[in-house]
Amino acid sequence: MSVRDFYKQKITVARVYGIPVRIDYRWFVVFALSVWLIASNLHTSPLEIGTMHLPPVARFTAWMLGVITTAGLFLSVFGHELSHALMARAEGIEIEEIILHPFGGLARLRSQPESPGAEFRIAIAGPAASFVFAVLAFVGAWFAVYQTAVTVFFLVGSGNLLLAIFNLFPGYPLDGGRVLRALLWRRTGDIVQATRMAGICGVLVAGTLITFGIYMAVAPSFHAYFMGLWSVLVGLFLLDAAVSVVRQSQSLRTAVVSDAMSPPFALEPDLLVSRFIDEVLPLHRQTAFPVASNGRLHGIISLQDLKSLPRETWRVKRARDVMRPIAPQMFVTQTTTLMHARELMQTNGVGSLAIVDQKGDLIGFLQSGTLRARKKRG
């Protein structure tokens, strides 16, 4: 295992509401760096909060506060991601895991939100949680009696406020970019175009962060040097994600069916349903099958339709009795764009498409599940 692989290995640290929470070893490096930055600042310089003047604290106290504040900040990031995850679950989407990485976190969802409304609610849940945490922490700082408690509450509150505001920048894949994508998607009904636009805004936001970071880094104070470097790193991280989103949506726009179709595995029209269920289904994990004889498409069988078929009829019914007979929305040619194919699959009731050549012979098959990229969320 290379050093790089070692640092990228994921370890599961907790399970919350059944969702695995995972970190990699780089996280410890960032944790330590954050503790050191906070501790050294609290030890050497006073903290000004409005009209309040908090003098520098002793070395040991500074380190304790550094650890507590950093733990509070990471818990806040976790709370932000958990909020996305629970909202996604409320929208009926399964959660793969929550990852805390050096630049924050992400909740990985098993599938895409089905509507702009769902996308919007899931995206806004994270920053909303961060705003609430910020308000709670500032209230805590207001009522706290000891200087140490005021410091921790104030820093955690500021961190959450920053997290909320930063995540609302309107560039994909930030939450604000997802909100933008949801709004464009609702307006135009075109999710690919909306993703592309939000991705381009993401590239712009990343470029701004990098430029701003370089500017801060060349400014003479030590503190700004670190902030600048951090801004550049976050900018590069975002840029990478935004560029790949734009590329993906571009390729989806120009890609055609033959780029994605698989060779057809067709059922004979005379095949008994019982034999299909006992012999074919265990070997082919598909949710729909084309029915064809001698290369000629007759229709499509979907497992969804089979569910309503009484069990006692399985031994008498044949594929042709239970299939949906061929109709224009069930087949396309190999030069059809994937965009159009996707629309058809969403509405034709079988979630799949048969691909035919000029002569009308079956040459391929496409299922909607195979077009869905896994979704990441930051």
Decide whether 79 or 269 has the Cβ nearer to Zn ion.
79
Q: Among 72, 126, 171, 364, which residue interacts with Zn ion (rule: CB under 5 A)? A: 126
The whole-angstrom separation of Cα 182 and Cα 194 is: 8
In contact, 8 and 29? CB cutoff 8 Å: no
The whole-angstrom separation of Cα 34 and Cα 157 is: 16
Decide whether 119 or 175 has the Cβ nearer to Zn ion.
175
Q: Is 319 exposed, middle or buried (0-12, 13-18, 19+ CB in 10 A)?
A: buried
The whole-angstrom separation of Cα 114 and Cα 205 is: 27
Contact stretch for Zn ion (CB under 5 A) within 60-68, 150-158, 159-167, 229-237 = 159-167
Decide whether 126 or 228 has the Cβ nearer to Zn ion.
126
Decide whether 167 or 286 has the Cβ nearer to Zn ion.
167
Decide whether 88 or 301 has the Cβ nearer to Zn ion.
88
Residues numbered 17 to 56 that lie near Zn ion (CB under 5 A) are none
The DSSP bridge pattern shows strands 104-109 and 95-101 to be antiparallel
Read off the tokens for 365: 């098959």
Contact stretch for Zn ion (CB under 5 A) within 31-39, 164-172, 257-265, 300-308 = 164-172
The whole-angstrom separation of Cα 155 and Cα 137 is: 9
The whole-angstrom separation of Cα 300 and Cα 297 is: 8
Tell me the torsion sign for CA atoms 190, 193, 197, 198.
positive
CB of 2: closest distance to Zn ion in angstroms? Answer: 31
Decide whether 88 or 338 has the Cβ nearer to Zn ion.
88
Nearest to 324 by CA among 357, 343, 348: 348
Site size for Zn ion, by CB under 5 A? 3
Contact stretch for Zn ion (CB under 5 A) within 13-21, 71-79, 170-178, 272-280 = 170-178
CA max distance for the chain: 87
CB of 37: closest distance to Zn ion in angstroms? Answer: 23
For residue 119, what is the enclosing H or E element? helix 116-143
CB of 169: closest distance to Zn ion in angstroms? Answer: 11
The binding track of 283-322 with respect to Zn ion, each residue x by CB under 5 A or -, is: ----------------------------------------
Decide whether 125 or 191 has the Cβ nearer to Zn ion.
125
In contact, 199 and 147? CB cutoff 8 Å: no
The whole-angstrom separation of Cα 162 and Cα 147 is: 22
CB of 220: closest distance to Zn ion in angstroms? Answer: 34
Decide whether 126 or 213 has the Cβ nearer to Zn ion.
126
Residues facing 53 on adjacent strands:
48
CB of 82: closest distance to Zn ion in angstroms? Answer: 10
The binding track of 321-340 with respect to Zn ion, each residue x by CB under 5 A or -, is: --------------------
Q: Among 21, 68, 74, 175, which residue interacts with Zn ion (rule: CB under 5 A)? A: 175
Binding residues (CB under 5 A) for Zn ion: these are 126, 167, 175
